[in-house]
Structure 1
Amino acid sequence: MKLQMMHFLTFRIHARNFIEPTIIHKWNQDQLNLIRELQEGGNVAVAGDMRADTPGHSAKFGSYTVMHMETNKILDLRLVQSNEVGGSYHMENEGLKRCLDKLESNGLAVDYIVTDRHPQIQKYLRDRNITQFYDVWHFEKGLSKNLDKLSKMKDCEVLKKWLHSIKNHVYWSAISSESGPEKVAKWNSLQNHIQNVHVHDNHLFPVCEHPDKVSRDPKKWFQPGSVALHKVEKLLYNKRVLKDIEKLSHNFQTSSLEAFHSLILRFAPKNVIFPFIGMLCRLYLAAMHYNENANREQATTTEGQAVLLIHKVFEDPKPYAEEQHAIPIPPTLSSQYEKPSKEEVIAQRVPRPRGGRNPTYCPAGSGN
């Protein structure tokens, strides 16, 4: 087509000298202004979650995000490379640590944080003496999988009629309560409710709040002493579940963070490999875009069409290069291995057999 295209090396030169320093400076400037605004309101409620750059458990990068829940804005975002912390399993804990250190160093104290139930995160926040609540969706998702599996057993078919109601009860127990014991009391009421008993031996929640009416399907109730009831009670009322119910967040959730993670895909798709600074800048761009539109109605033209673009230009980003150079870049994952010579690689190469067949396999009757 004889199109004049910019060479990739030319793009990298422009990115390194102009684009990346500008993005880093703008993010640092916006973040500092946001933190200063929040300092006036005292301790803050935040949510935190990690996003891996690839699916699965062997990701190269992990980005941990902390969001201020009342303003729905990204407070801090940290990129961790797996070889910095001894493996991808430890990236989430390290990312949270760096975010909290950043907030504390700028005089912003965390009142409580809403996260998933990652074991390392639980221990770290407990040692740091920071109140933690669990996101309801993450808890309900895991519980619903176990319930769905149980409902497929022959003696637990009655459970299928209750799957949706139990899911709703998880959310209601958390959101309608003001304390951990109240959440547990409301959750325990389900044990009686599924047996058609609606008065409970707990002063925090003595009676079901639903209207008193006769069911159209009397077979939907669990029978006392049945195998199905025993298995459901064992799943719903073990010590771990009750402990997690008590810590479910009754106010904010991490759904906005999940929306932000979806937005990152438009700036840094998971099927594309980026260098450390390249990935970091794309995360910063996504965060600035999200914060810019966090609590803002969609702008429209006089014809009612959406307006999507805002321009901000830095004519000379060279003074901001020092901020970029101050970011510690971990060594590449391949740096821990010794690079073989070209001759060694060629000598070790095993050619693929013609026709894609296994060279050691001889079909019967071939005479080989």
Structure 2
Amino acid sequence: MIAEKWLSLNNHIINIHTKHGRVFEKCAHGRLLAAQNRKKKWLKADSVPALKLNKVVSQKAFVRDVKKMSPSQQTYGLEVYHSIVNQFSPKMLILAALHYNEKSGRKHAKTRTGQLQYTVKFPKAKKGGHVVRRVNTAATYEYVTELLTETLRLCENNVDEEPFDVPDPLSSRWEKPDKRDAVALFRSRFNH
């Protein structure tokens, strides 16, 4: 359905609004103004602009990507999650997931009188335009307390036991070259 809707653009620009495909048969817009009242002209099917647009719209890779687009869900939550992962660095993925899970379920903040709170932002991408966003309740960090409590419990239980084995670094498996030889080899390769 999404791909057929996208490809229907090729017909729509030349004033064809039906028989787009098997699933998406006709345009979703209502009745259009008659040609004499319409200020914009339709493209001709064999015109250079129509052919160029058709070439862009119909690219296989582009249509394949359009099929994967979500018609009802936006990626804002996923982008927030990825920014948190970047904040904690990829090596701390579990910590990032805990942090995101704690913050993602926050409720819409209300004023003292019970009205929902919103804020107006001016992102650079909007070039002076604005975006209205809801204000969430304050973030909590309960997972930090739980992690510290569990860490202390584990430490207290293992006081008399041998510490667990820490594996050697991966680099310890390789033979370390003599520094002078390595530098000489490096300089000889780049002096030629």
Is this a same-fold pair by TM over 0.5?
Answer: yes
C-alpha separation between the residues in 2 aligned to 1:326 and 1:216?
77
Structure 1 residue 240 displacement after superposition: 4.4
The answer to whether residue 67 in structure 2 is matched with residue 230 in structure 1 is no
Matching residue of 2:28? 209
Looking at structure 2, the residues matched to 222 and 290 of structure 1 have their Cα atoms a distance apart, in angstroms, of: 49
Gaps of 5+ in 2: 118-136, 159-163, 188-192
Native 8 Å contact 2:103 2:139 kept in 1? no
Cα shift readout 1:208-244 (whole Å, capped 9, x = no counterpart): 22241354333xx432211222222223224444455
Query: Does the 8 A contact of 1:260 with 1:290 survive in 2?
Result: yes
- Deviation at 1:200? 3.1
Aligned 8 A contact 2:99 2:141 in 1 = no
2:154 equivalent to 1:344: no
In 1: Cα distance, 2:21 partner to 2:86 partner:
48
Unaligned stretches of 5+ residues in structure 1: 1-181, 269-278, 351-368
Quick one: structure 1 residues 329 and 194, their matched pair in 2 at CA, closer, same or farther if it must change by over 3 Å?
farther
1-structure distance, mates of 2:100, 2:14: 47
Instruction: Percent identity, please.
Output: 32
Tell me which of 292, 303, 307 is aligned to 2:102: 292
Deviations along 1:172-214, whole A, 9 cap, x unmatched? xxxxxxxxxx333322321111123323354633432224135
> 1:113-262 alignment to 2 at 5 Å?
182-200=1-19, 202=21, 204-211=23-30, 212-213=32-33, 214-218=37-41, 221-252=42-73, 254-262=75-83
Paired residue secondary structure (1:264): helix
Deviation per CA, 1:19-64, whole angstroms, max 9, x where unpaired?
xxxxxxxxxxxxxxxxxxxxxxxxxxxxxxxxxxxxxxxxxxxxxx
Q: Deviations over 1:58-87 (max 9, x none)?
A: xxxxxxxxxxxxxxxxxxxxxxxxxxxxxx
| Counterpart Cα distance in 1 of 2:18 and 2:185 | 75
Residue identity opposite 1:194 in structure 2: I
Q: For 1:246-285, what aligned pairs fall within 5 Å after superposition?
A: 246-252=67-73, 254-268=75-89, 280=91, 282-285=92-95
Give the residue type in structure 1 aligned to 2:15: N
Kindly indicate whether the alpha-carbon contact (under 8 Å) linking 1:195 and 1:224 is maintained by their aligned counterparts in 2: yes
Distance 1:307 1:238 in 2: 44
Query: Whose relative contact order is higher, 1 or 2, with alpha carbons under 8 Å and at least 6 apart?
Result: 1
C-alpha distance in 2 between matches for 1:341 and 1:208: 72
- 1:187 counterpart letter in structure 2: W
- Note if contact 1:298-1:307 (Cα within 8 Å) is conserved in structure 2: no
Distance 1:250 1:243 in 2: 15
Tell me what 1:331 maps to: 170
Once the two structures are TM-superposed, the CA of residue 296 in structure 1 deviates from its matched residue by 1.6
Q: 1:199–1:208: 8 Å Cα contact kept in structure 2?
A: yes
Alpha carbons of 1:247 and 1:309: their partners in 2 closer, same or farther (altered >3 Å)?
Answer: closer
Look up the match of 1:98: none
8 Å contact from structure 2 (residues 106, 139) kept in 1: no
TM-score relative to the length of structure 2: 0.55
Aligned residue pairs, count: 149
Paired with 2:167 and 2:73, the residues of 1 have a C-alpha distance of: 33
Partners of 2:65 and 2:82 in 1: CA distance = 25
CA pair 234-348 structure 1, distance change in 2 beyond 3 A? closer
- Who is 1:159 aligned against? none
The residue aligned with 2:154 is 317
